Amino acid sequence: MTLRKRTLVQALGLFTLSAGLALPALAQDKPLKIGVTAGPHAQILEQVRKIAEKDGLKIQIVEFSDYVQPNAALAAGDLDANSYQHKPYLDQQIKDRGYPLVPVGYTVNFPIGLYSKKVKSLKELKEGARFGIPNDPTNGGRVLLVLQDQGLIKLRPEAGLKATPLDVVDNPKKLRFVELDAAQLARSLDDLDAAAVNTNYALPAGLHPGKDAIAQESAKSPYVNLIAVRTQDKDKPWVSKLVRAYQSEPVRQFIQAEFKGAVVPGF
């Protein structure tokens, strides 16, 4: 090989190598858009963002005020991932809406609390009391199961996790179930005798499950939250980096210190 040819080959090799190194850097210049609901999910993801950045992963946190939009935005490609829901809810969304989404890692559990401004215990609820529950099938069923565990109602055995008020077969106090959007329940306590409020909405409203709830779901439940991505993205390298950052020890310590049992690590 002549000196001129060898020099040209070396130059091309250096160009190829530099281009190969540049591509990942360019890809990382565009941050991942991760959808969360406001409150604890957003607070935790802020800590995840700091950990992920050390691993070369940039994250942009996108907050939502309800449970419906984060999955719609993810399926539409407006987000790269979301972190706000448990598997029963995701499964129902996939069934109802055909979203091409999959879970890729567990995050935290929010034991749901039952709250009241009128009574100090479930036993004090009067006959015909108005009880607020989330109007989505998975969280509504979740609350009915808590009420069954507390001895207030009985459900058809086959109702399972997706029980609805129609599955109630025994209701000694004749509770009247008021189905509202989960985000509205904390603000509706003045108009209800009691209500179940998801912890990610309870905490911003000044309600702490450990101090203010008149009853609480067991932490050992099937409602551990997760990170979801589009099916086509599940094997991409950034997904494992994101999950690794979330399931890191510093994030675990933050959750335990910040929320003091209201939110518990699920990993």
Domain membership of residue 170 as a residue range? 113-216
What does the alpha-carbon distance between residue 107 and residue 226 come to, in Å, rounded to a whole number?
A: 5
- Burial of residue 184, with CB atoms counted within 10 A of its CB: 0-12 exposed, 13-18 middle, 19 or more buried: middle
Q: Quick: pLDDT tens for 157-208.
A: 999 888 999 999 999 999 999 999 999 999 999 999 999 999 989 999 999 9
Q: Is the pLDDT of residue 24 over 60?
A: no
The count of residues in the chain is 267
Q: Quick: pLDDT tens for 212-247.
A: 999 998 777 788 999 999 999 999 999 999 999 999
Please give the mean pLDDT across all residues of the chain.
89
Task: Tell whether 98 is covered by a domain.
Answer: yes
Q: Which residue has the higher pLDDT, 209 or 52?
A: 52
Q: Within this chain, do residues 54 and 104 fall inside the same structural domain, yes or no?
A: yes
Task: Tell whether 26 is covered by a domain.
Answer: no
Q: Within this chain, do residues 211 and 130 fall inside the same structural domain, yes or no?
A: yes
Q: Within this chain, do residues 208 and 126 fall inside the same structural domain, yes or no?
A: yes
Q: To the nearest whole percent, how much of the chain has pLDDT over 70?
A: 89
* Residue 110: closest CA among 35, 38, 216, 258: 216
Domain boundary among 216, 239, 254: 216
Q: Within this chain, do residues 197 and 252 fall inside the same structural domain, yes or no?
A: no
pLDDT at 28: 55
CATH number, position 46: 3.40.190.10
Q: Which residue has the higher pLDDT, 21 or 90?
A: 90
What does the alpha-carbon distance between residue 216 and residue 202 come to, in Å, rounded to a whole number?
A: 12
The two three-digit tokens of residue 25, written as one number: 């850097």
pLDDT at 21: 39
Using pLDDT thresholds of 50, 70 and 90, give the confidence band for residue 15: very low
- What is the distance in angstroms between the CA of the first residue and the CA of the last residue of the chain? 59
Provide the 10 A C-beta neighbour count for residue 161.
Answer: 18
Find out whether 216 and 114 touch, Cβ atoms under 8 Å: yes
Which are the contacts of 169, defined by CB distance < 8 A and separation ≥ 6?
A: 154, 155, 156
Q: Within this chain, do residues 35 and 70 fall inside the same structural domain, yes or no?
A: yes
Calculate ∠ Cα 161-204-201, nearest 5°.
Answer: 15
Mean pLDDT (whole number) for 113-118: 97
pLDDT at 138: 86
Q: Is the pLDDT of residue 26 over 50?
A: no
Q: Is the pLDDT of residue 7 over 80?
A: no
Mean pLDDT (whole number) for 48-64: 97
Residue 141: what residue type?
G
Q: At what angle do helices 237-246 and 40-54 cross, to 10 degrees?
A: 120
Task: Tell whether 95 is covered by a domain.
Answer: yes
Task: Tell whether 17 is covered by a domain.
Answer: no
pTM: 0.74
Using pLDDT thresholds of 50, 70 and 90, give the confidence band for residue 9: very low
The total of structural domains in the chain comes to 2
Find out whether 132 and 217 touch, Cβ atoms under 8 Å: no
